[in-house]
Chain A
Amino acid sequence: MVLKGTEMPPSPANLPCPNCNATIEIYSAKWCYCLSKNLSVICPSCRSCFCKLLDYPRAADWKLALQKLREWQTEEKFRRALETFPASAFNSSTVLIVDDDEEIRLIAGYTLREMGYRTLTAADASEALAIVVQQRPDFVLTDALMPKLDGRQLCHRIKRLDPTIKVIVMSAVYTKSRYRSEAIKQFQADDYLPKPIDFRHLHDVLQKLSKRAA
């Protein structure tokens, strides 16, 4: 069963599963998880993925479906991250979030508070240093690139001030995992997160650093 050409499948589109012959309602079936170049569906009965079988045209409409699938996956990550770590687990720790983008400060603050952390925010490195001196947070989550004093200088100064404060640097520039160790070394940070932030990953990092400190 192969759909080719430029025609879109009819709506609603019912197709028999080539594997178990169950009826698949294309539009309400789950999208496949493998994100191959051909968007496809999973048979609700036998769970087969038909990426290799269905050859739909990659029209803009279908790109939106891919985006929606990714959004759903992100929401799932948020949900799983919050479920994995109960609020009581880290309720004594404080995280200072440093980013010149308010949008990042807001979403990171929200998610960390949902996890049970206390949060502080700073829009630049100077403000962050003042907070570090006054309040001594347990963790600093900082952007790498910021105007005036950048993340690297901020990390160095924090470590000189108090080496026990755990610093996590995040960057949208060095997003490949192979840059991680080099970035940690350059920034004298305790860990590194690529942007966009994966909050489940952030959870794992905070947990790891908490255990190391304990």
Chain B
Amino acid sequence: MTLEELQQRFLEGLQHRLTDLTQLLVGSADPDLLMRMFHSLAGIGGTYGFHGVTDMSRSCENLCLKATYEQRPLTAAEVHQLEEAIVGIRAAGSPDRPESGRPVES
């Protein structure tokens, strides 16, 4: 596989991971499981060159880590934050992202 094919494969896998994360959030919202999933994403994203994915995933991981450490479920506000972050991660790894350094024109 070429580097481009590997990156494309990562991006497709990312969408599946984010779907799983969303389903988990509306379901059990287990902070420990979510933390592991975001942790994995944080390590992979930047390795493939998607540092936006890593930055946002790390923030989510820390948020879940706090809840795990305090041995409590995620609050509604935290779940909402994570949902918003997932939208951001999806955008950061979107195949439709701009191909040049230009901002997206509205």
B13 at the interface (CB under 8 A from A): yes
Pair A195/B106 contact, Cβ less than 8 Å: no
Which residues of chain A have C-beta atoms less than 8 A from B29's C-beta?
A: none
Determine the distance from Cα of A6 to Cα of B1 in the docked complex, in whole angstroms: 44
Q: Given A70-B52, A103-B13, A172-B39, A65 and B44 touching (CB < 8 A)?
A: no
Instruction: State the Cβ distance, B19 to closest chain A Cβ, in Å.
Output: 16
Instruction: State the Cβ distance, B2 to closest chain A Cβ, in Å.
Output: 8
- Which one, B48, B50, B51, B105, contacts A11 given CB within 8 A? B105
Q: Given A196-B44, A196-B47, A64 and B6 touching (CB < 8 A)?
A: no
Chain-B contact segment, one of A26-34, A126-134, A151-159, A161-169: A26-34
Chain-B contact segment, one of A72-80, A117-125, A178-186: A72-80
CB closest residue in chain A, given B49: A74
Determine the distance from Cα of A35 to Cα of B23 in the docked complex, in whole angstroms: 35
Which secondary structure dominates chain B's binding surface?
helix
What is the interface residue range for chain A against chain B? Answer: 35 or more
Q: Which residues of chain B from 1 to 44 have a CB within 8 Å of any chain A CB?
A: 1, 3, 6, 9-10, 13, 39-40, 42-44
A107 at the interface (CB under 8 A from B): yes
Which residues of chain B have C-beta atoms less than 8 A from A70's C-beta?
A: 49, 51-52
Query: Which of the listed residues A27, A68, A69 has the most CB atoms from chain B within 10 Å of its own CB?
Result: A68
Which residues of chain B have C-beta atoms less than 8 A from A110's C-beta?
A: 1, 3, 6
Pair A68/B6 contact, Cβ less than 8 Å: no
Pair A195/B47 contact, Cβ less than 8 Å: yes
List chain A positions with a Cβ less than 8 A from chain B: 8, 11, 27-28, 30-31, 59-72, 74-75, 78, 101, 103-104, 106-108, 110, 172-173, 195-197
List chain B positions with a Cβ less than 8 A from chain A: 1, 3, 6, 9-10, 13, 39-40, 42-52, 54, 91-92, 97-98, 100-106
